[in-house]
Structure 1
Amino acid sequence: MRSIEYHRSEIEHMRRQIGRQQKEILELQRGGVPTASAEALLERMQAKVDSLVEERNRLE
């Protein structure tokens, strides 16, 4: 089982990635570029963060 510190750092890292991804999606949308695949990736990333948060909470 991974440590609580691992979960905390991974959650923080992924949240930063999600923030960057959201900004990129907005830029693409403003440029008229389809963003469905990027939005799907964002949803998968958020689901992973949610899973890590649940695991972290169990460890606390």
Structure 2
Amino acid sequence: MSKPSDSSQRRLDWVRSEIERLRGQLRAQEREIRMLQRAAVPTASAELLLTRIRAKLEDLCRQRDALRNGAVVARARS
């Protein structure tokens, strides 16, 4: 295996683990917001945080897809 593909694979692994971590964080935040809503506590700031987490998650998914597509292109050239 060449160096660039090793580096790409490491980056892809990191992005995948970061996606997994953020999904867990998102689920936890959603649960907390539901609890706050049941207690009639304002949740506007928590919902903004969810929006930022979702945006970061979408960005990481795009990065993952680009890395995956780059790996497919690199394999096709080999």
TM-score normalized by the length of structure 1: 0.96
Identity of aligned residues (%): 48
User: Unpaired runs of 5+ in structure 2?
Assistant: 1-7, 69-78
Q: Cα deviation per residue 1:10-43 (whole Å; 9 max; x = unaligned)?
A: 0000000000000000000000000000000000
Q: Name which one, 1 or 2, has greater alpha-carbon Rg.
A: 2
Number of residue pairs aligned between Structure 1 and Structure 2: 60
Look up the SS of the partner of 1:45 in the other structure. helix
* Alignment-derived partner of residue 33 in structure 1: 41
TM-score normalized by the length of structure 2: 0.74
* Alignment-derived partner of residue 67 in structure 2: 59
Matched, 1:16 2:17: no
Higher relative contact order (CA 8 A, sep 6+): 1
* RMSD, aligned CA: 1.2
